[in-house]
């Protein structure tokens, strides 16, 4: 499905299911897009995560119910999936700046209307990308599960943890002291960061700090992952990371996907590539890249 049409259809679906138990996986299934891709693109286009948008819309509708009906607070709380009046009152007060009883008595509310998605692609630098056919790619690395909404803050800490625990000796040129350090040296672990959306719960995904697998022992605590042969859109980034990645991601979902007549996203995993030979990640001219699996549009 064309990207903007998918996001608009997703918003329509959310709006018609706000009093039902709906989450990221339900919405992404409706538009046939990976939960990871959909969540990422939705946040870029709207400025809200999917769950935040659903929560804000429910809190606005609950305020209207308080103003227009005599329904009990507990009934309104349950209608919008709050388990207790206390949890509802806490979220409601934080959002509206007034308690449910105050709103029922006439206090003002925070208006949060359904989103309308419009894209205005303005002039600027041409995106540096290419479509590349790639052979099967087998990677080895350290894995951790992250939540989509908190991953931007937590993944850099995961990298720091891996470097401090395993990689500093190797990066300093010393001989590997254990199987993990040997695997890092043999497979250049740290060249890739891989997001894999295959857990099936919509909110979490696997992330690998990885390198290209060259064979040999897979130490305890490490895992293998293989990409099938296929087409990839490779977007070159210049600048310190993760800032350069975040800027390029915004452009991909705001400019490249909406305006691309030939390709669309496919698969359930993406790759970050890091130049492990030239420069430091904090350098203003550091080179990295984002790899996205794509297919030709029908």
Lowest pLDDT segment from 12-21, 22-31, 166-175, 229-238: 166-175
Give the CATH number of domain 129-296; options: 2.40.30.260, 3.40.50.10490, 3.40.50.1370, 3.20.80.10.
3.20.80.10
For residue 1, what pLDDT band results from cuts at 50, 70 and 90? low
- pLDDT per residue over 240-276, tens digit each? 988 898 889 888 888 888 878 888 888 888 999 999 8
Task: List, for residues 124-158, the tens digit of each pLDDT value.
Answer: 456 778 999 988 899 999 999 999 888 888 999 99
C-alpha distances out from residue 272 to 91, 92, 97, 269, 293, Å: 36, 39, 41, 10, 12
- Residues 293, 231 contacting (CB under 8 angstroms): yes
Please write the tens of the pLDDT for every residue from 169-189.
777 777 888 889 899 989 999
Instruction: Quote the CA–CA distance of 72 and 50 in Å, as a whole number.
Output: 28
Given pLDDT bands bounded at 50, 70 and 90, which one contains residue 2? confident
Return residue ranges of the chain for CATH 3.20.80.10.
129-296
Give the DSSP letter of residue 125: P
Would you say residue 202 has pLDDT above 80? no
Backbone angles phi, psi at 195, to 5 degrees: -100, 125
Q: Measured between alpha carbons, how far is 210 from 188 in angstroms, rounded to an integer?
A: 8
The residues facing 45 across adjacent strands are none
Show Cβ contacts of residue 126 under 8 Å, excluding neighbours closer than 6 positions.
none
Q: Which residue, 212, 233, 235, is CA-closest to 224?
A: 212
The DSSP code sequence of 126-190 is PP-EEEEEE--EEEEEEEEEEETTTHHHHHHHHHHHHIIIIIHHHHTTPPP-SHHHHHHHHHTTT
Q: What is the mean pLDDT of the chain?
A: 89
Where, residue-wise, is CATH 1.10.10.60 in the chain? 3-104
Phi, psi of 134 (to 5 degrees): -120, 145
* DSSP alpha helix (H) spans, the chain: 3-15, 24-31, 35-46, 50-68, 73-79, 85-96, 100-104, 151-162, 168-171, 179-187, 243-251, 257-259
pLDDT band at 123 (very low <50, low <70, confident <90, very high): very low
Cα separation, 294 vs 267, whole angstroms: 8
Size of the chain in residues: 298
CATH 1.10.10.60 at 3-104, yes or no? yes
Whole-structure pTM value: 0.82
Residue corresponding to tokens 């669309």 = 264
């Amino acid at each position: 499905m064309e990207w903007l049409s998918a996001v608009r259809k997703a918003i329509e679906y959310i709006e018609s299911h706000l009093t039902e138990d709906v989450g990221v996986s339900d919405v992404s299934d409706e538009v046939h897009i990976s939960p990871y891709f959909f969540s990422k693109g939705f946040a870029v286009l709207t400025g809200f995560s999917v769950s935040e948008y659903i929560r804000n819309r429910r809190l606005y509708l609950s305020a209207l119910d308080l103003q227009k009906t005599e329904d009990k607070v507990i009934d309104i709380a349950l209608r919008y999936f709050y388990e207790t009046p206390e949890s509802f009152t806490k979220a409601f007060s934080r959002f509206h700046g007034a308690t449910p009883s105050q709103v029922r008595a006439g206090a003002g509310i925070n208006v949060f209307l359904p989103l309308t998605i419009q894209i205005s692609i303005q002039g600027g630098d041409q995106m540096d990308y290419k479509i590349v056919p790639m052979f099967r790619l087998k990677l080895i690395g350290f894995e951790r599960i992250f939540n989509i909404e908190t991953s931007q803050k937590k993944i850099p800490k995961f990298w720091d943890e891996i470097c401090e625990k395993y990689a500093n000796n190797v990066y300093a040129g010393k001989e590997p002291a254990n199987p993990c350090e040997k695997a890092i040296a043999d497979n250049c672990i740290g060249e890739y960061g891989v997001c894999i959306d295959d857990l099936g719960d919509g909110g979490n995904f696997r992330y690998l700090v990885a390198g290209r697998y060259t064979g040999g022992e897979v130490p305890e605590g490490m895992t293998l992952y293989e990409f099938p042969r296929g087409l990839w859109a490779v977007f070159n980034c210049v600048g310190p990371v993760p800032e350069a990645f975040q800027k390029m991601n915004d452009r991909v979902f705001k400019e490249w996907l909406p305006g691309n007549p030939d390709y669309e996203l496919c698969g359930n995993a993406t790759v970050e590539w890091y130049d492990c030979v030239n420069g430091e990640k904090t350098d203003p001219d550091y080179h990295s890249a984002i790899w996205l699996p794509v297919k030709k549009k029908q």
